[in-house]
Structures are given as C-alpha cells and as structure tokens.
Structure 1
Amino acid sequence: MRGAFRADVGEKPEAVLDGALVEDPRVTRSGTSSVYTRGDAGGVKASLPITIQGRLDSGASVTMINAQNWGHPGPPFGLPEYLAHYAIVGDRNISGPGQLFSCTRFRFGDPYWLGLLQDGETAAVGLDGSTLSVDAADDGNWLLYTSASPVTQQRLHTVVISGCLTLAELALDQDFHARDTQVRINDGDAWLTVHGPGANTPPKEFEYRTLLPREELTLERFANWIPINDTLDGIGRAAARSIDGFL
C-alpha cells in the first residue's frame, strides 16, 4: 500500500496511507455501500496502537512503533493518518516494540559537545559486563552503550540515554535531549536510526554558564551513574529539570 512517511526532527513520525491497514469499527459495509458512524467507542478501537512495517522510495526499511490512526478510516471517507511513538529506519524492519538490541549510540547538545571525550575510551557499566564507550565522528562524537544482554529500545532509552542526560542536567543545570539516536540488533550490523521525540531533536547551542565545568563529566562518571539512576525511579530527572511558574 502506498503512502507518505514524514519524520520531522523532535516530532512523532507520521504516515498518511492510501487505505486502511485494519478494519475500522466505525465503518459498516453492506453490499456496495458503506456507512461511517462517528462515535467515541469506535474511535477508541480505531486508534489502538499497531506496528507498521514498510519500505521507503529510497529503499530503506521503516518500522513505526505504537502507531495510532488519528485520521479517517480510508476511502471514501478520507485517508488514515498514523502517528507513532517512534520509528526506526535502516536496512531492515524490526519486529515491534519487543525487538531486542545489543547496543545503542547517541549524542546530545551542541554537535561537538562530547568532543572532550577520547575516541575509543571505555568504561564498565555496573557489574554485568555492559560498557559505555566513545565513538568518534567528524560531525560529533557518540556515546556508545553495549549491553551484556540484548534489551528493548524502551529499556535503552529509559536506563541508558535518560540516565546520561540526567547526569548532564544535574551537573550543568541545563536541559538536554538526545540529538541523534541509533540502535543495532547484532554486533557488526548496520546502525538503525530512531526518529521521534526524545530520540532526535534539533542541535542545542551550548550555554557556557554552567553549574560545574563540563570537564567534570567524564566517561567513567557517566558509566557509574547509569545503574545508580536506574534505582531512583525518575527522581533524578525530575530534580534536574527546571520548574516554570510559581510553587
């Protein structure tokens, strides 16, 4: 089925399709006629999250995770418009939100914010054999996390990426989001790019007025903080974020 895929930086990925992927409970078909009945119950059923797998005109595969139809049920009543929590684009489709990955790499802030870390530097994360290292690139260094055992993208984001961002926010008194995020199923596979809020955001200009010097954020401190932050149930990120308005 043809359609149009869109993944703007910092926004939920979107796909407008030429037809419906699943039967819409708001549509009743009888012979050659169809009736579209608007209703809360039918609307809820029609927008239940699904996994959408497709291929772009470029040849890249795209998988939309937890995609929900916020549009119409399909011709003749209008086109379905699916918004996903995130999408993964690369040389293959993934199975869904339960897909396991061996590693992720990400970067945040200014394109050269991580330039102070040395290429190839590695530190242990916890006691299970997982590692955090630096993967150098001309357009900005990456933090590369290799898990001792495969985990989901949600777990990688919640524990690893969010953990590193929390430490940076606490130390520097600035808000951060992942600028680029990629995952890999098996060691040696091509990287798959993650699109969605919190996974890819516009580059942020570095603010030189910080609580602590940026040099205090060493790779070892990032690695040591990840398992600690995982025990805090989100308290660290809440404490790091600025509060707007009056208390």
Structure 2
Amino acid sequence: MQNRWKTAVEFLASRVPARLKGIVRSRTPTPDRSVVPLPMEPGSDATATAESDPTLKGEFWAIAEPERRRDGKLTIGVKASARLETVDLVDMRVISEPKIFPNGETHWTQSGRPEDVVADFAPITVHGTLDSGRDVTLVDAMGTAILFDQTFRVGYVLDGAHVDGHDQRFSAVRFQLDDPGWWTNLEDGMTAEAGTVGSLSVLREGGLVWFVFEFTEPVTLRECDSSVVLPARTLANLATMLDFQIGPTQLRVDADGSSWITVLSKNRTPRPVKYGGSRPPEFLLRPAAVLTVERFAQWINVSAGMDGLPVVVANPPTNAAIETKALTMASVAEGLHRRLFDESKRFQTIKPAQRKIARKAAVAIGVMAFEKAGYSDLEEVRDVLTKALGHITEMPYRSRLEDLQQEAVSVVPEVTASFQEPTWAQLVVKTRNLLAHQLDGDKRTMLQKIDDMTLVAWSLPWVLRIVLLLRAGVEPTVIRNGLVNFSPFQYYQANIAAIQSKSQH
C-alpha cells in the first residue's frame, strides 16, 4: 500500500498540472445545502454549531479494527445517503488515479480487478465519536479511495451509541409518520396487539405523535424497517394515495427502558414533518377516520409474510415501459394471492398420498406412449412429464385473478365492470403470458397489445388496493364511498372506457 501511495505521489508531482495540484491539495468540500445536522439532545447548545457547519467532525474506526482510528467528516443528507470522508480507515485494494490524455484532459481511473473493486465496496460497520462527544455507529458503510482519501457511502447512521451494526438486535422501535395533524384520532397510551410480531402503542409528546412498537423477539435494524416502519408507511399510502414521509425514528436495545438511539438514513426526515397549514387538497380515505392503532397493528401482522409486495401496489412503477408496468403488476397479483388466500388445491376429494400415486401413474402412461411412438430417450420423457405434472394440483393463475377480482368487486363493482369480452381475468392472463412467455400465435396488432397492457397496468393496482385495504380491516362501505368520490378513480374509469371504445372500433 505504501509503495502504491508513493508511486501515486510521484506521478502527481511530475505529471499533474499546477492547477490540478491545487485542487488535490485543498480537498475542501463545497457545502451541500441538502444536508442536515445530526440531531442533538433538546436544549443542547451544539445545535447552533451544527446548523452553521454541514459536516460533523470526529474520530472514526472500523468495528473490526478498533485500534486504527482516523479523523473524519460525516455529512448526513436528506435526499442522499450519508457520507464519511477520512484517510486510511481500512486497507483498500483499489485506488482511483489520474490519467492524462494527449489532449491534456485528465480523468480519474480505477486500477485493479473488478473483484477487488467489489471487495473494497463491501459494506462494513464503522464506529465514531464526534467532537461534541456523541457516539455514532455507521451501518452499511461502503468505501472508495482516491489517492490517500477514502469516502464511505453510509446506509444508516445510528446516533447515540456504539452497536454491532447488522448483528445488533433491538427490542423496540418508535417513529413519526408524516405530519402529526393526520393523527387527531390517536390518543396517548392507545395500544393494540400485532399478532406474534409484537404490540403497537401511541405516545403523544410535545405536540408530536410517536408510533411505538415493542417486538415479541428482538430484531435487527433492517427487520425493524421491513416489518414495522415501512409497512406502516405503506398502509398510510394505500389508504390515502399520498406519499407519506417517515419522520424521526429511534431504536431501543433493551426492553427495560434503555435509552433511544436515533436512526438517520436516506428518505427519512430527521426532524418532525410539518405542513405549515398547507396539506394535499385530495386524498382517498381520511387517515384520522380509518387508520386507527388497531388497523396499523393488524396490518403489521398481516404484512409480515408478504415480502414487501404491498409497497408495489401503493407505489406502482411509473417511469417504466408499459410492458414493465403490466408484467410487474401481474406478478405481484399472483404473489399476493398466495399470501392472502387459502391455497386450496385441485382434487381435494382424495388424499395427498392418493394424488401422488395418480401423478406417478400418469407419468408412467405418458412414458409408455412416447415409447410406443418410437422415442428412445425415455429418461428425458420421464423427467419432463414429472416436472410438468408436479404443479397439477396448484391453482391456475386465472383462478387466482378471479379470487382477487371477486373480493374487490364485492366492495367496488365499478373497478372492473367495463371489462366484458374478454373478461378482466382473461385479459390479464393473456397479457401476462404474452410478456412472460412470448408465445407464438397472438394475432393482435402491436397497438392492440399496448392497449391491453395499459388496461392491465391501470386496473391491477386498483383491484389489489381494495383487497389490501379490506385485509387491513377497513370497512367495505368506507372503501367504496372513498373510491367512487375520488377523482383519480373516476378518471381511471373514464380512461379505461376510452381505450375499450377505441379497441371496439
């Protein structure tokens, strides 16, 4: 490493123009107005200092090498990942070096093999103590090097303690969800059970509303987000069709009242969200009317086994080709059906062992038929037939769609009422098969295919949204009244009718 640095310094001294040398020496970052100071304890005089300086200075070290401590600067952004700038924090295999081209232009290039670059960028946990005396833990810090300097993009900053990063488990999480004005219905101390996941309660503190979740069993940082915080936000987005923000978030290690550790990450506001009197003019369902602590708890329990699929329903793909939108939503529909509906099998009148015997008999007969036809590789035939018949008891995709449609139209018949021939389920199946399997023989023109993809991409989010709101415990009449009076849903109906009318002509 020292030889590489020496070579790089000599290279710069001999080849790099004086103007570039000055840039390299200064290394003074331009203040980023999108960054925010690390939250300080209420009443701390350090807040004013942090407000005037977008970077937080301190001493940092990789958790695997506590004796190797380096000075560094930590920058925390609202719309970008946090960033740590330091020198020689860890050994890196690759550094970026300047290359001067014949035309005088200078470009920075990475030396080393791709696997070395990937190894350097592998996430690590970094501990630090700021000049103010506060301890921080940087989780998922991924580094790159430019000459002597190392920069780490940080996934999470935990303010207030040194913990074990990925391996650390937490007993509780509390968070704010958008503007507290949405939650006029929630009173301090309200509590509800979320099945085997844990319990949810409400804490009102200084005009703020905290959702406090106590886990049945301690979980990791990522599990806190994926099992509680993000599902709560997703339910709010499903119910309102607004993009609710996650506000200040804190974790607690021990259940016996240990101190709270603040979590800072991209797309998580470090300060309470306040609309300042200006709120969105229209939303699907009023949060204070439908999002009770019981519904949030029920949803956290229901969504535990859905692997984040409801997020796609709450935020369908937008900046993508229509083929991507249609295929994505068609796949999400199948996954949600598997999680939400009874996985009833075909041939329920006979026992599983009998179904297995019948499959084997069917394979044997098929092999005999191929042998009689003169095909010689019977092992291949047996393998193909065994795989083909392996899912014969599974529900077909169309039946899954019909289950979803039936539940949705029982509440809002208008959601697929204009689909006649082919039916809504038939159209989704045909479109999914076209995109996923690229089957021959489809006689539709390209414009007709695009129209059908559009119908699928627009209708599935509405159908699935209704189903998910029902599973969260929202009353059917509330869902129906909200949708039929909601202008985006009315425009959806008008657009669907316009496309179908064009197709008929």
TM-score tier, shorter chain, comes to 0.7 to 0.9
Alpha carbons 2:85, 2:152 under 8 Å: kept = yes
Residue type of the partner of 2:302? I
1:83 and 2:153 are equivalent in the alignment = yes
Question: Which residue number in structure 2 is paired with residue 200 of structure 1?
Answer: 269
Report how many aligned residue pairs link the two structures. 232
1:208 to 1:242, Cα distance in 2 relative to 1, 3 A = farther
Instruction: Measure how far apart 1:59 and its partner are.
Output: 1.2
Match of 1:241 in 2: 315
**RCO comparison, higher one (Cα < 8 Å, 6+):** 1
Shift of 1:201: 6.1
- Per the alignment, residue 98 of structure 1 pairs with 167
Say whether 1:126 aligns with 2:195: yes
Other structure's SS at 1:112 match: helix
> Which of 303, 306, 324 is 1:229 aligned to?
303
1:42-65 C-alpha deviation (Å, 9 max, x unpaired) = 322222211100111111111111
> How far off its partner does 1:193 sit?
0.6
* Offset, 1:26: 2.8
Could you tell me which of 144, 147, 154 is aligned with 2:222?
154
Residue 198 of structure 1 and its aligned partner are, at CA, apart by 4.0
CA RMSD of aligned residues (A): 2.1
Following superposition, the deviation at residue 68 of structure 1 comes to: 0.9
Larger radius of gyration: 2
Q: Choose between structure 1 and 2: higher strand proportion.
A: 1
Mean Cα deviation higher: 164-173 or 206-215? 206-215
Superposed CA offset, 1:52-100 (max 9, x none): 001111111111111011342xxxx24111111111011x200111100
Instruction: Give the aligned residue type for 1:154.
Output: R
1:39 aligns with 2:108: no
When structure 1 is superposed on structure 2, of 202-211 and 177-186 the one drifting more is: 202-211
Say yes or no: does 1:216 pair with 2:290. Answer: yes
* 1:39 Cα deviation from its structure 2 partner: 2.7
CA offset digits 1:146-193 (Å, max 9, x no partner): 011111111010010111111111111112231111101013111101
Which of 151-160 and 205-214 deviates more?
205-214
Kept after mapping to 2: 8 A contact 1:120/1:134: yes
Query: Could you tell me how far apart the structure 2 residues matched to 1:101 and 1:10 are?
Result: 26
Secondary structure of 1:132's aligned partner: strand
1:31 aligned partner: none
Q: Secondary structure at the match of 1:118?
A: coil
Query: Which of residues 44, 52, 61 in structure 1 aligns to 2:126?
Result: 52
Structure 1 223/16 Cα, relative in aligned 2: closer, same or farther at 3 Å? same
- The 1:139–1:8 alpha-carbon spacing in structure 2 relative to 1, beyond 3 Å, is farther
Cα distance in 1, alignment partners of residues 208 and 251 from structure 2: 17
Give, in whole Å, the separation in 2 of the partners of 1:15 and 1:51. Answer: 12
Distance 2:145 2:245 in 1: 29
With over 3 angstroms needed to count, the CA separation of the structure-2 counterparts of 1:37 and 1:148, relative to structure 1, is: closer
8 Å Cα contact 1:177-1:201 kept in structure 2 = no
* Amino acid in the other structure paired with 2:156: Y
**Runs of 4+ off more than 4 Å:** none
The verdict on how the C-alpha distance between 1:224 and 1:37 changes in structure 2, with shifts beyond 3 A counting, is closer
Gapped regions of structure 1 (runs ≥ 5): 28-35
Give the drift of 1:233: 2.1
More helix by share: 2
TM-score normalised by the chain length of structure 1: 0.86
State, as a whole percentage, how many aligned pairs show the same letter: 30
- Give 1:10 shift: 3.9
Counterpart secondary structure, 1:2: strand
Change (3 A) 1:40 1:124: same
Deviates most, 154-163 or 174-183 = 174-183
Question: Aligned partner of 1:207: which letter?
Answer: P
Q: Secondary structure at the match of 2:85?
A: strand
